[in-house]
Amino acid sequence: MEIRFANAAAPKAGALALLVHEGRVLTEAGRAMDEATGGALVRAMEASRFEGKRDQQLVIVAPAGVALTRIVLCGAGKAGEADAARYQALGGAVAAAFNAAGDKEGTILIDGVEGEKSDLAEAAAEAAFGARMRSYRFDKYRTTEKPEKKPTLERLTIAATNSAKRVYAAREAVADGVFLTRDLVSEPGNILYPETLADAAKALKKDGVTVEVLDEKAIRKLGMGALIGVAIGSVRPPRVVVMQWNGGRKGEAPIAFVGKGVTFDTGGISIKPAGGMEDMKWDMAGAGVVIGLMRALARREAAVNAVAVVALVENMPSGSAQRPGDVVTSMSGQTIEVLNTDAEGRLILADACWYCQDRFKPQAMINLATLTGAIIVALGDHHAGLFSNDDTLSERLAAAGKSVGEQLWRLPLADYYDKQIDSDIADVKNIAANRGAGSIIGAQFIQRFVNKVPWAHLDIAGVTWSKADTAITPKGATAFGLRLLDRLVADHYEGK
């Protein structure tokens, strides 16, 4: 779908979406269109329950004498209260409506009402961003899809002001990163495994990102025994990918991102139940988000030094697989008693986080992982879990998440929980003796390998995959965390 920008004017063809504020208040463009249609818009509203409330829609077949296919009235809520999320949702909903109706060309006309002050360029850019985000599809393996289920919208014009194109550029870069992440997370495990995911990361070189891939020999040489322990059950060898974007001041410490990349997780010897195991193709979502984020930062030429490390393994049961009760030595030198091979994400993050902080000395480090099912029990599918050793970093992350609609909820870390992973025969064990506070225990384990760097752990297990369409996210991979981290960088680390 091509997105164009134009000044506020009604199109001469295709479908048209108009904003209506609560109380059935038409904008100037809406009043003009109502007059041109002989009052059809007002009559349609009066004959329906449409009030102009947020997220409401009313579709009107264009009457004779108007060179349009249909007119969609979009509830914009109370005048003066529209924000970025509202315009994004509006853009996504309109794009979905145009596709559902079979339109090939459509226009969203954005203008204000008397007494309302709004930045039309920002509003138009957000609507375009929402439309682009909602337009995502992962259909590369479909060969028999019915024509009526395929998207039809080829061109969407946002009619507000031509200057919106410049404002939209940075958002388009973020959308590019989101689409990359969604593609990676959607791929099946037979296609996406450590080597091919590393190859996908290498494609970021075209965007100006420096990419280094560590193979199994290099990983072993570094002493990443925790990561190797997870990988040895699979015929697919592990990889660690290091990505650097140097857009900030020379010599300035980077902000670091670390991603869990278990390309398929059977649970290993502690094997998972068969029901739902197919979802474990997206146990690499943390790595997927980190890779997509680096694309977004590079394509919008972010003025920041950023480094990303993703640990890539496949967790499989076999004759060579790690056993419950095994003891491995991590890169930090700490020994780990592996009591459950299905608690593998924290093992690979132990080595990845230690490597990242030891090599790059970042000013802050954030890891993302689909780490625990317990976080889904605690928070469901609307919030990700936030754990941190630094209040300032935690507050910044929560604020960034709120501003983009990727909500976080902070949970505690404390000595009480930390003592529960003391091992009788090694330095630490990878699970506690009981199932209580499972997400906290996972975070507590990772914290032992961050070496007092300002750090945060985002447990995204509940928010990585959506079972239904939302305003700007189709059913499937969400790329949750990417927009949040991009906003964090823009607000607190870029150009500072």
Binding positions: 260, 265, 283, 342, 344
Is position 346 annotated as part of the catalytic site? yes
Among the listed residues 132, 299, 300, 346, the single catalytic one is: 346
What number of residues does the chain have? 496
Rounded distance, CA 307 to CA 365, Å?
9
List the binding residues for Mn(2+): 260, 265, 283, 342, 344
SS3 of the chain: CEEEEEECCCCCCCEEEEEEECCCEECHHHHHHHHHCCCHHHHHHHCCCCCCCCCCEEEEECCCCCCCCEEEEEECCCCCCCCHHHHHHHHHHHHHHHHHHCCCEEEEECCCCCCCCCCHHHHHHHHHHHHHHHCCCCCCCCCCCCHHHCCCCCEEEEEECCCHHHHHHHHHHHHHHHHHHHHHHHCCCCCCCHHHHHHHHHHHHHHCCEEEEECHHHHHHCCCHHHHHHHCCCCCCCEEEEEEEECCCCCCCCEEEEEEEEEEECCCCCCCCCCCHHHHHHCCHHHHHHHHHHHHHHHCCCCCEEEEEEEEEEECCCCCCCCCCEEEECCCCCEEEECCCCCCHHHHHHHHHHHHHHHHCCCEEEEEECCCCHHHHHHCCCEEEEEECCHHHHHHHHHHHHHHCCEEEECCCCHHHHHHHCCCCCCEECCCCCCCCHHHHHHHHHHCCCCCCCEEEEECCCCCEECCCCCCCCCEECCCCHHHHHHHHHHHCCCC
Please classify residue 393 by burial: count the beta carbons closer than 10 Å to its beta carbon, then call 0-12 exposed, 13-18 middle and 19+ buried.
buried
Rounded distance, CA 281 to CA 19, Å?
41
Is position 236 annotated as part of the catalytic site? no
Task: Identify the residue whose tokens are 């025994």.
Answer: 225
Among the listed residues 31, 272, 402, 410, the single catalytic one is: 272
Question: In this structure, what token pair is assigned to residue 255?
Answer: 């902000």
Point out the residues that are catalytic: 272, 346
